[in-house]
């Protein structure tokens, strides 16, 4: 079926869904008294997934500028959820890791995130939902490959 308007294209739909998920996550975490932004939650979940990680690698993983990430980490450090320590392989670099408090707050966010995912998938056949996710993963990999190819071309020219 053809898109009915420009706002029903892939990019608009994906951006709308992402915006709505962020808004719902912000609302539900505030309602639960967690006092975290979606950006802070993304940092916590990624650090939990990777274990201690360099700030530069985390910024790249999140697709944010180093200064933006630094502000998020400052706030999370102030809340006692993460800590920065020198990287043993390069003392100039800092590793970000979760504290016990960070691990605890991630455990509180997980059921909220699961409920939002469930709400987003309501009325969609589970097999169809898995196909949607698989297609989105392929699309993400295609876009990563484009960026990688573009950066390789830039490096070759430089």
Residue 122: predicted pLDDT? 97
How confident is the prediction along the chain (158 residues), in pLDDT tens digits per residue?
455 677 789 999 999 999 999 999 999 999 999 989 989 999 999 999 999 999 999 999 999 999 999 999 999 999 999 999 999 998 888 999 999 999 999 999 999 999 999 999 999 999 999 999 999 999 989 998 998 787 777 655 55
Are the C-beta atoms of residues 76 and 40 closer than 8 Å to each other? yes
Domain match, 110 and 142 both: no
**CA-to-CA distance for 113 and 26, rounded, in angstroms?**
11
Domain match, 75 and 28 both: yes
DSSP SS3 for 11: helix
Does 1 map to a domain?
A: no
Domain match, 114 and 132 both: no
Closest CA to 73 of 56, 92, 87: 56
Query: Which residues lie below 8 Å from residue 22, measured CB to CB, with a gap of 6+?
Result: 38
**CA-to-CA distance for 82 and 68, rounded, in angstroms?**
16
Q: Which residue matches tokens 């697709």?
A: 63
In the numeric block, which tokens belong to residue 57? 């690698």
Phi, psi of 9 (to 5 degrees): -85, 165
Domain match, 107 and 139 both: no
pTM reported for the whole predicted model: 0.79
In the numeric block, which tokens belong to residue 54? 């360099």
Query: Which residues lie below 8 Å from residue 99, measured CB to CB, with a gap of 6+?
Result: 80, 81, 82, 83
Residue 158: predicted pLDDT? 53
Domain match, 19 and 47 both: yes
Domain match, 36 and 110 both: yes
Domain match, 150 and 82 both: no
Domain that holds residue 70: 6-122
Domain match, 56 and 101 both: yes
Domain match, 38 and 106 both: yes
Give the dihedral of Cα atoms 72, 106, 136, 6; nearest 10 deg.
Answer: -50
């Amino acid at each position: 079926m053809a898109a009915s308007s420009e706002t029903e294209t892939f990019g608009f739909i994906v951006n709308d869904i992402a915006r709505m998920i962020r808004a719902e996550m912000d609302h539900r975490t505030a309602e639960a008294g967690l006092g975290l932004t979606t950006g802070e939650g993304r940092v916590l979940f990624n650090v939990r997934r990777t274990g201690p990680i360099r700030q530069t690698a985390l910024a790249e993983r999140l697709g944010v500028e180093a200064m933006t990430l630094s502000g998020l980490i400052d706030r999370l450090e102030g809340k006692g959820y993460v800590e920065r320590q020198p990287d043993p392989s390069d003392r100039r670099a800092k590793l970000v890791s979760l504290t016990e408090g960070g691990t605890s707050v991630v455990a509180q966010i997980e059921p909220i995130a699961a409920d939002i995912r469930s709400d987003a998938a309501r009325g969609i056949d589970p097999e169809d939902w898995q196909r949607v996710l698989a297609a989105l993963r392929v699309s993400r990999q295609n876009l990563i490959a484009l960026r990688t190819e573009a950066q390789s071309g830039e490096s070759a020219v430089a």
